């Protein structure tokens, strides 16, 4: 009998647990710093990674009207294993590029929900290509560019509610 090892593409954080509360330091109420992220099980044919962090509950989780984009990174090197908490633009790995968040600027913008508890999806995609420089794309532009190149996806979800 042959044994087959199943490798699962996984995204984790030491800053918060999956489906857990995100700490204040990652939000607009604290230091507004990016979470520590790590990943394992990257498919062998991966050429680059894309990270999209968004909130589908904006502005009100009881009546969501849009998905708010907090961070987009692309061309993360396939041999990287994560990002430290509070990483600066200058310290992004290799040839990593940033897209625009919904504040119309590159970089991380932490949770800052106006009402209720929101979910923050941290989605990591393994691509079979390295994307061209898209010159600070929006999330939509990035999704179009990577559309036919996704070979795996891992998701980590955090929650945050502001104190009244």
User: HEC string of the chain?
Assistant: CCCCCCCCCEEECCCCCCCEECCHHHCCCCCCCCCCEEEECCCCCCCEEEEEEEEEEECCCCCCCEEEEEEEEEEEECCCCEECCCCCHHHCCCCCEECECCCCCECCCCCCCCCCCEEEEEEEEEECCCCCCCCCCCHHHHHHHHCCCEEEEEEEEEEECCCC
Structure tokens belonging to residue 93 = 């790995």
Band of the pLDDT at 10, cuts 50, 70, 90?
Answer: very high
Domain boundaries, the chain: 10-160
pLDDT for 24-50, tens place per residue?
Answer: 999 999 999 999 999 999 999 999 999
pLDDT band at 163 (very low <50, low <70, confident <90, very high): confident
Contact by Cβ (8 Å): 74, 134 = yes
135: Cβ–Cβ under 8 A, 6 or more apart, which residues?
none
C-alpha–C-alpha distance, residues 25 and 84, integer Å: 14
- pLDDT tens for 67-118 read 999 999 999 999 999 999 999 999 999 999 999 999 999 999 999 999 999 9
| Answer CATH for 10-160 from 3.40.1440.10, 3.30.300.350, 1.25.40.10, 3.90.280.10 | 3.90.280.10
Q: In terms of Cα–Cα distance, which of 150, 149, 77, 159 is closest to 122?
A: 159
Q: What is the pLDDT of residues 52-76, one digit of tens each?
A: 999 999 999 999 999 999 999 999 9
């Amino acid at each position: 009998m042959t044994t087959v090892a199943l490798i699962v593409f996984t995204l984790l954080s030491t800053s918060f647990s999956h489906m857990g509360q995100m700490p204040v330091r990652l939000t607009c109420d604290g230091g507004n710093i990016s979470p520590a992220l790590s990943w394992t099980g990257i498919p062998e044919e991966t050429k680059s990674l894309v990270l999209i962090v968004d909130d589908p509950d904006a502005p009100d989780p009881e009546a969501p009207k849009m998905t708010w984009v907090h961070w987009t990174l692309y061309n993360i090197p396939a041999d990287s294993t994560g990002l430290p908490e509070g990483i600066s633009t200058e310290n992004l790995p290799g040839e990593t590029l940033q897209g625009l968040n919904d504040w119309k600027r590159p970089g991380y913008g932490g949770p800052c929900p106006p009402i209720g508890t929101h979910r923050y999806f941290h989605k990591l995609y393994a691509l079979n290509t390295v994307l061209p420089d898209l010159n600070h794309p929006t999330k939509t532009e990035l999704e179009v560019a990577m559309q036919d190149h996704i070979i795996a996806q891992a998701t980590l979800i955090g929650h945050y509610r502001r104190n009244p």
